[in-house]
Amino acid sequence: MIRSLDHLVLTVRDVDKTVDFYCRGLGMRKEVFGNGRVAIHFGDQKFNLHGADGVPLLPRARNPVAGGADFCLVAGVPLDEVIRRLGNAGIAIERGPVDQAGARGPMRSVYMREPDDNLVEICAYPPGL
């Protein structure tokens, strides 16, 4: 029934810092839509950003909180290139590279924290997976 993820919402303390982390550090792109709402795009998906202190957008999660997310992003380049780009952007790797079991099978991952302390895992699958 479900085919893919369209978007998810991140509650953030500082939209500009979050945009900088994901765009400069991870190569995503910023979009402003609606009445000044901000999203960051990658592939065919996006993260909508909701400010923690702003007027709540409805509907929303019952208990939105900055720093409460833990997710994995699949890299479109080898993990060595991800590690190099993170280093060039001054983003510290908290753990990894390590072997993990992903949705498609075995993968290698690195973990880092973004400005709201969400745990971001970036993985790379072996060719063919």
Catalytic residues, by residue number, are 121
- The size of the chain, in residues, is 129
H or E element, residue 68: none
CB 89, CB 24: distance < 8 Å: yes
Distance, CA of 81 to chain centre: 17
CB 76, CB 68: distance < 8 Å: no
